[in-house]
Structure 1
């Protein structure tokens, strides 16, 4: 197959990205100057700068551990199994690690099938991602260490406060007993906050491996656990048909438990009415948890996902202010998100995006 005039090298040379054009058998028909320069500067393996050689064969016979993946991806594009293929891989050819991104796209020109191959040096992006990941890991370790180390002195404070209350109960006046109650209550709240912070810091490091999770079964379990609290408020939880997603079952259970508990806690004067349903969207599932509660002002909707940031006083509603932050962190670990739509007095709907198990 000859290279068409519209895909000739003199046309490709006007384009900034490095490009090689393959025929339907994988033979390189044309490359542009940017391709040749990029291949030489970055010592690409395989060295596919020459016209007439077969890109697939070069990949298959290369010593590079990623070349076989490149060949398989390019073949899948040429065979019509996929429109595009992307591969990110490290390279150690110059003694320092670098990363490249290979992209193969299928195109038709005058009823003939071609593949367009292009490379990018993504080393800076990968190094930046590594720095962020290492920084997050250090922060997680710090949060875990602080949370863990605070537990023991807090237990000691609570124990001694209880001992004082029991031993000197007859000697304390009303103010003294009230002060001790305040101190014990504060210590218990601090304990809850520390345990929440500990759980938050462990989302990435202590999570289970991902596996298919039947969300309908998970929500039925959560609903059963909360049934007494719902009955006390004469409320109702409705669970529609839910999908199977890919994830950590215990963490997803925690996420939806927090959302349902919020729906019960912030129901206001009306009996809580909570509804859970799901909708498919581009290889993902959007699970909606709706309630008829007090709602959230749009100006405060970003704040509710911040750690320990509370919109209400503890006298109004109990809680540590970490529940929704934990939900968001769990969703992020799963490659998803948690968003909210709400108006004061009109209830709230939380949207949890999760990858399809398929």
Structure 2
């Protein structure tokens, strides 16, 4: 059904007809209506059978002056309800479907036999098998026999229930016509009871249709239509579009107008207010008034829908423009960051070289001299800030590479334990100045294929975060092997992270705290996550406010067959150092930048630097 599957075709086909209709909250009721109709039918028919068993006239006929629902009619209703219920069961089996069709076939057979009894005047002795009806029953010239209109409705109902599983498109019109005909028979009978006109629920010398029989035919016709909405056009009736609004309003008018006008005409006739000619005029005028009223209201509703749709289209256009502008701003920002980070590398390198040369000239690099000379301490502090700025520029460059999909890894066989030690060792002095005792626990060797410099970058970022948010408290770094996974953990005892921020902090430019309290732009963890995921691993954080944080990196171990000695003899990639002796007087063009080249030439032309 539509409420479950949601993907079946719409009810009516034709040139230019859409296959999908606008969604509506009413569509959710389609799956409930068949089951509700089955339940109502079972309760009502069961009450009638109890009435026949206990001889309770109210259960059999609703009112003593009304026609009774016959026992075989109630039994046929139970079979129809069972067929509809079994068909609507989710995931029903083949045997359930077969049982549903068997019940539907039984309903059609009861209707056909009763119709033949009337047509051929040949009793088949099926009318009073369950209970015998006494003489003098209201509107029942054939005792125990259902009305001929009821027999026709059961024949149509059983056939429609058998067609619920049909897939051919040509069945659609036949199915819809049969169910609508059942509803019309039921509506005429109910209208007859409302107006007190027996000819509307009884045909000649045949048994009349009971009131609750007519009502159950209306209920079951609605249930059968909703059981296959794509066959009946119910999807159109339930849709939120203009067609659905128009259909609901006109159907209400079509079903409601006969009751209203008929009641007015019959009451006026009984009171002697007008003759038969005036009745016809009143009927015509009343129909025109009701139709015009509903057309007017439907047109107003359609106009409102069109206005809302127009506003929605305008809003969608504005949102599209805003989204395009936002995307353009993001592209410009990323381009600016990429260009700025590249352009900053050259002047930063020149500044770093100048400060390093000045540091050597001030005291020959002697620690004692550096401690007592304010200028030397200022230069040392400037070098730390330059190093910090260099890391930020490197992160911006990594961010640009990640955005462009150019983050490349140089995988090689390395000892992860040694990589972690080399990453942490340069940070010992900074940790000590911040009052953070370093607790390092790594296994002797964890062999695998990784990009050593990128893994060092991840560890450095995590330890720097631990230093920033957990000053004056120990920082614990561990590297262990767990099966086929290498696990790196960095734990601090700082301010911690709220649970709702643990996933967000790994996104670009996201931070768990304000930049006014702690410096940073929110790039380090994002870059770390991209590097780890590029290795096929994962990174997560375990934290609580005030309880510190533990960042856990899990990397899959690529098995290697070379002996460990090959790893130890592999030439290591050179890493930049804060202090190193300059080469002999050699001049070379480093980058296409005048200031950096001039700085290098000036430094190399000086007498040898101690």
Coarse TM-score class (shorter-chain normalised): 0.3 to 0.5
Structure with a larger share of its residues in strand? 1
TM-score w.r.t. the length of structure 2 is 0.28
Larger Rg: 2
